[in-house]
Structure 1
Amino acid sequence: MAKALAKKTAADNEKALQNLRYGMVISSALYVLLRLILSPHKFPPAFWPSVIYLLTAIPTVFLYRYLHSVGTPKRDASGILISSGDDLNQSGLLDTCWDVIYVTWGCQVGSSLFGEWFWWLYLSIPVFGGYKVYTSFISPMMGLRQGQPAAAAEAADPTTAPGGADATSKRQAKIQKRNEKIQAQQAKSGRR
Structure 2
Amino acid sequence: MAQKSQKTLATRNASTLNRTHLLSLAIHAFFHILRLVFRNRPSLLPYILLSAPSIIIEAYFERLSRPTYTTSEPRTLKRAGEDLQAPGLTEWMWDLLYWTWGCVVLVAVIGDRGWWAWVVVPGYSVWLAYGTLMGVKGGMGGLMGGAGAGDEEGKEGQSKRQAKMEKRGGQKTVYR
TM-score by length of 1: 0.64
Tell whether 2:91 aligns with 1:95: yes
Partners of 2:89 and 2:158 in 1: CA distance: 37
Give the aligned partner of residue 58 of structure 2.
64
What is the RMSD computed on CA atoms of the aligned residues?
A: 2.7
Q: Report the Cα distance in structure 2 between the residues aligned to 1:121 and 1:2, rounded to whole angstroms.
A: 48
- Shift of the alpha carbon at 1:107? 0.9
Q: 1:111 aligns with which of 107, 111, 116?
A: 107
**Could you list the per-position Cα deviations for residues 9-59 of structure 1 after superposition, in whole angstroms to 9, with x for gaps in the alignment?**
11111011111211221111100111222x23x5xx35xx21110101222
The residue identity in structure 1 corresponding to 2:70 is D
The corresponding residue for 1:5 is 5
TM-score w.r.t. length of structure 2: 0.69
Match of 1:183 in 2: none
Query: Which whole-Å deviations, capped at 9, do the CAs of 1:52-99 have from their partners, x for residues lacking one?
Result: 101012222211111111111122223211221110011111111111
Task: Please report how far the alpha carbon of residue 127 of structure 1 lies from its aligned counterpart in structure 2 after TM superposition.
Answer: 2.1
Structure 2: 5+ residue stretches without partners: 141-156, 160-176
Cross-structure match for 1:75: 69
Q: Which runs of 5+ in 1 are unaligned?
A: 146-155, 159-192
Does residue 50 (structure 1) correspond to residue 7 (structure 2)? The answer is no
Which protein, 1 or 2, shows the higher relative CO under an 8 Å CA cutoff with sep ≥ 6?
2
Alpha-carbon deviation of 1:118? 1.8
SS of residue in 2 equivalent to 1:143: helix
Separation in structure 2 between the aligned mates of residue 134 and residue 75 of structure 1, nearest angstrom: 46
Aligned residues: 142
The residue identity in structure 1 corresponding to 2:54 is: T
Structure 1 distance, partners of 2:10, 2:115, is 35
Matches within 5 A, 1:1-192: 3-37=3-37, 39-40=38-39, 45=41, 49-78=43-72, 79-136=75-132, 138-144=133-139
CA 1:82–1:30 in 2, change beyond 3 Å: closer, same or farther?
same
Report the Cα distance in structure 2 between the residues aligned to 1:132 and 1:10, rounded to whole angstroms. Answer: 34
Aligned-pair identity in percent equals: 26
Change (3 A) 1:75 1:114: same
